């Protein structure tokens, strides 16, 4: 796995397989252009590596020229093909082979076709290392294709993601394994902690409790921890941006995880939106908000029981307990609506044996 600009890519096509595909393209071109003196036109930047390999296998005499086009921004096509370096060669009556890295929508091929026609070439053909048939929407023939690939974003072997990855000797594909990212909710006494630890084991998820993350950062005096502390010392709320940066660091630390359980966050719509943005930056998203549902009276009884043995003051006083439960419902109500709109809210009955409740949660998670 490699990481470029915070996104993860897995190896998809090995260098050997690429060399073999190039060899086959070279054999065909050698057969078709035997005794001719073609002009190879290399489309920069992406095709430099393919061109180097291909041309080193060309048997006859040839000329090599370059032009530079671009039509991509990040991982998606902009639809507009721009010329950064124009063709600096007389094309009149030449037999031209255009060397491309990849044919996606075909917009670049269309632009190149216009250039060939207006340049008055004798004939022209396209040689592309990769071709995405599912994305191609044009009719122009691509005469030589190294490998047909699915409509996924790839990097390496000349191809880039926002400028990075061209030097890689294999092809890598954007990691698309679906993560399970849960926002776990439950009133005090619902057994959230217990269930989180089961789910974490069962699904190999990382449990991110905002409280723990705060304590960790402050204890270790990280830059963000110190920043958070400076607000807390003044009796102010820590701004969402600081919390989000801490969570982001936590997510990055565990980039290989199957997903995350967010506990104690988000609490507001603004935070929910910030979490969406954070996860979307990492090419994933919230899968579900899961709320453990337990009747108030049962919660009060459970917490009073717990208070007797744990000595926690906030578990001893019924008025305090009821207040905490009310705060929970006020907060949850807002977020319930937010996630319901996206069909991501799941209420799960939190009354019964611990294993029963885990089973109910698992049934929900397995449908995601
Ligand atoms: P088209 O004009 O949509 O066919 O796109 C062609 C250009 O888009 C290529 O020359 C690349 O620069 C870029 N491109 C298309 N697909 C990918 C990809 O999966 N990874 C990296 N660049 C790509
Ligand atoms: Mg290109």
Residues with CB under 5 A from ligand 2 (ion): 43, 46, 101
Task: State in Å: Cα 221 to ligand 1 middle.
Answer: 44
For residue 74, pLDDT over 90 is answered with no
Tokens 């595909």 belong to: 21
Task: Give the pairing type, strands 76-85 and 63-73.
Answer: antiparallel
For residue 365, pLDDT over 80 is answered with yes
Task: State in Å: Cα 121 to ligand 1 middle.
Answer: 25
Specify the DSSP class assigned to residue 292.
E
Residue 59 near residue 30 (C-beta atoms within 8 A): yes
Spatial distance between the Cα atoms of 176 and 197, rounded to a whole number of angstroms = 26
pLDDT digits (tens, 9 = 90+) for 191-233: 999 999 999 999 999 999 988 898 999 999 999 999 999 998 8
Of ligand 1's listed atoms, the one at least distance from the Cα of 107 is 2
For residue 343, pLDDT over 90 is answered with yes
For residue 140, pLDDT over 90 is answered with yes
Task: State in Å: Cα 5 to ligand 2 middle.
Answer: 20
**Residue 117, class by beta-carbon neighbours within 10 Å (0-12 exposed, 13-18 middle, 19+ buried)?**
exposed
For residue 312, pLDDT over 80 is answered with no
Look up residue 293 and give its two tokens.
């549902």
pLDDT at 331: 83
The answer for residues whose C-beta is within 8 angstroms of residue 185's C-beta and 6 or more apart is: 192, 289, 290, 291, 292, 332, 335
In this prediction the pTM is 0.62
Spatial distance between the Cα atoms of 345 and 337, rounded to a whole number of angstroms = 8
């Amino acid at each position: 796995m490699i990481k470029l600009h915070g996104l993860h890519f897995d190896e998809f096509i090995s260098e050997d397989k690429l060399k073999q595909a190039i060899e086959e393209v070279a054999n065909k071109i050698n057969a078709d252009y035997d005794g001719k003196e073609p002009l190879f036109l290399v489309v920069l930047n992406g095709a430099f590596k393919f061109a180097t390999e291909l041309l080193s296998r060309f048997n006859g005499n040839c000329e090599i020229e370059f032009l530079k086009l671009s039509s991509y921004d990040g991982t998606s096509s902009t639809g507009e093909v721009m010329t950064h370096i124009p063709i600096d060669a007389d094309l009149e009556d030449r037999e031209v082979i255009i060397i491309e890295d990849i044919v996606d929508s075909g917009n670049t091929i269309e632009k190149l076709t216009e250039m060939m026609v207006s340049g008055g070439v004798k004939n022209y053909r396209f040689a592309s290392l990769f071709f995405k048939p599912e994305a191609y929407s044009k009719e122009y023939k691509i005469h030589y294709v190294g490998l047909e690939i699915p409509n996924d974003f790839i990097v390496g072997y000349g191809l880039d993601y926002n400028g990075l990855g061209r030097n890689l000797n294999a092809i890598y594909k954007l990691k698309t394994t679906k993560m399970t990212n849960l926002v776990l909710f439950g009133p005090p006494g619902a057994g959230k902690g217990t269930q989180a630890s089961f789910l974490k084991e069962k699904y190999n998820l990382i449990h991110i409790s905002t409280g723990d993350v705060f304590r960790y950062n402050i204890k270790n005096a990280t830059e963000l921890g110190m920043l958070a502390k400076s607000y807390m010392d003044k009796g102010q709320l820590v701004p969402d941006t600081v919390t989000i940066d801490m969570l982001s660091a936590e997510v990055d630390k565990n980039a290989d995880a199957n997903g995350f359980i967010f506990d104690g966050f988000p609490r507001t719509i603004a935070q929910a939106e910030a979490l969406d943005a954070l996860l979307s930056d990492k090419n994933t998203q919230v899968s579900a908000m899961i709320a453990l549902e337990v009747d108030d009276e049962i919660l009060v009884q459970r917490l009073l029981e717990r208070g007797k043995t744990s000595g926690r003051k906030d578990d001893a006083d019924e008025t305090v307990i009821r207040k905490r439960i009310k705060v929970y419902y006020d907060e949850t109500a807002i977020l319930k609506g937010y996630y319901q709109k996206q069909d991501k809210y799941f209420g799960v009955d939190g009354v019964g044996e611990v294993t029963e409740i885990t089973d109910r949660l698992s049934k929900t998670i397995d449908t995601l």
